[in-house]
Chain A
Amino acid sequence: MKRNKFIQITENIWEIPTDFKPGMRVPARVLSSGELIDGIDDRVIDQITNVACLPGIRRYALCMPDGHVGYGFPIGGVAAFSVDEGIISPGGIGFDINCGIRLLRTNLTYDEIKPKQEQLLDELFRTVPSGVGSSGYLKLNNDQFRQIMQQGVNWCRENGYAGYHDVEHIENRGCLENADASVVSKKAISRGINQMGTLGSGNHYLEVEIADPKNIYDKATARRFGINLDNQVMVSVHCGSRGFGHQIATDYLQVFDKYSKQYGLDVRDRELMSAPIKSEEGKRYFQAMACAANAAFVNRQLIVHGIRKAFRKIFSASEADLGIETVYDVAHNIAKFEEYEIDGRRETLLVHRKGATRSFGPGRAEIPEDYRDVGQPVIVGGSMESGSALLCGTTVADHETFGSSLHGAGRTMSRMKAKKIMRGDALQDKLRQKGILVKTGYIRGLAEEAGYAYKNIDMVVDAVDNIGISRKVARFYPILNIKG
């Protein structure tokens, strides 16, 4: 691969010019630290430069520092398309539509929960179903599920599963407005209707974490986000739209495959199948994707409801005393219409984020009022050994990355290889010795998510902080983990 063509723009930004590959309409930009650029797979470069060939793309095809090989777009890929000339692509969003992370704060400290942490882990494992074939605690009928698709978390609020602050502290207030249930297949509904409130499997998790004061980098912003106690207990949940979203992506990938053949569209990678944003097929996919995004917001909210129940039971305390509140909820597999300045004029673009988090800076109307003067919380998931990170959005992201930042540590080792290095039960013991209790329905699969299978979260977080597209607020270390 012609890496000598890469141009280093700043310490952490590398540009791949349009003459790197025939058909590139814009340059690609890989965000990385100097150390990490060498570790970026050739296939990631191939994928992000394929994205740069798509019609209507604006400025750059971007890859975040946690980028790794995906389908169509790399994971960590961001691209924005003109509404008039551009496309929408399921390969730029991912099969798990609105996979994302919810971060909760509590009024509890580590010392207060330590004596009961084993019981808490068992109770969380019971209240939040995980793994293959699991069903949620709600038995929904088709009407209720249609409301969930179209109303998102407002449905939870109306039915007693969400509080006012939950709704306010979710990206898009937990509801994408363009959702239209009539463009969703019966198959998608059948796959998802029994799964609301479940974690799923793979890299999805529920984690109880601690905010150690020595890992708070910006105390004022941390306080604004509800982190105001030494060794405060935090909870994070990583999951998405479950089988419902997976089926919508599958359905529309096939629709777009046919469309591409019919219109003779030249796509380098079949997973980059797409349709013009203004085409009927493109509009329908956007509406269906919005349904899945709304279902994912609801899924995480119903999990939060289960978490609150588990804490109430174990600590025999009221909701007010426990203070389990949503810090924020971010979507990291999604496409949204947003406005940016392109060549000196404001333009509405369809921003695809696949394994990338929105990172809006201070002042944006889309940010909850109580965070608006500091910026949007950006939640970054790590491995079960490293815990997660909390960052804050910046205006630099608006200019550099279409208001986007990283989403996780970034996988570097295959699941099969990770399992060969250590047995699941041995990893569980090792983590216990480090003070991290892990529970899973499939112990042999535990090593797939071991810390050694991921990039160093601190390095990728430092990279985005250096670039300026998010700034560090806090790091949390894990104590309890449920691996889906």
Chain B
Amino acid sequence: MPFELTDQYTCADIGMLVSGTNINILFSDAAAGLTSIMVEPDNLEERKRFKVTLDADDVEGLFFNWLSEIIYFKDAERFFPKRCEFEYLDGNGKKLAATLHGDIADPERHILKTDVKAVTYYRFKVEKVDGLWKAEVVLDI
């Protein structure tokens, strides 16, 4: 399971646990997990793409910005990513350049689920433990 959704942290919102053997997998699976809360991913197609470049002081900041960017695209472009292609994601997790391939929301083709308002700092954590990247995040619904 690339990501796990959990209700153990708050009763009104959704927690997400993600892990990956490298940082690209962590970021990519977290994007998939977040998207799966908002839309049924199986029906998404790769019809549109957006470039994303982000930087931050540390890997936690970059991860926060990355998920916030996906939430931004949901509202500003009505866009959901199906696949993330990383052009650059440094090992320290301070810079990222990627292309999001995905679809524009269409109630005829998609099962639109629940809006995610924001990424929160509640229990927010990104760390590398014994060579495995792990993240814990609570998303505001």
Contact = CB atoms under 8 A, between A and B. Distances in A.
Contacts of B12: 68-70, 75, 203, 411, 414-415
Nearest to B79: A133
A190 B69 CA distance: 12
A370 interface: no
Interface stretch (B22-30, B89-97, B111-119): B111-119
A308 interface: no
Interface string A265-291: 000011101000000000000000000
A187 to B, nearest CB: 6
A132 B103 CA distance: 14
B72 interface: yes
Interface of B: 5-7, 9-14, 38-39, 64, 68, 71-72, 74-76, 78, 105, 107, 111-115, 117-122, 124, 138, 140-141
Given A71-B138, A269-B122, A202 B115 contact: yes
A10 interface: no
| Chain A interface category by residue count | 35 or more
A267 to B, nearest CB: 10
A108 B120 CA distance: 44
B121 A250 contact: no
A47 to B, nearest CB: 10
A416 B14 contact: yes
A190 B72 contact: yes
A132 B121 contact: no
Interface stretch (A21-29, A52-60, A241-249, A292-300): A241-249
A444 B119 CA distance: 23
A133 B120 contact: no
A70 B10 contact: yes
A424 to B, nearest CB: 11
Nearest to A417: B7
B114 A442 contact: yes
B109 to A, nearest CB: 12
Nearest to B9: A69
28 contacts: A69-B10, A69-B12, A95-B117, A95-B118, A95-B120, A96-B117, A96-B140, A131-B115, A132-B38, A132-B74, A132-B105, A132-B113, A133-B39, A187-B72, A190-B76, A191-B72, A201-B141, A202-B114, A203-B12, A242-B75, A243-B74, A250-B68, A250-B119, A269-B122, A411-B11, A415-B141, A416-B6, A444-B111
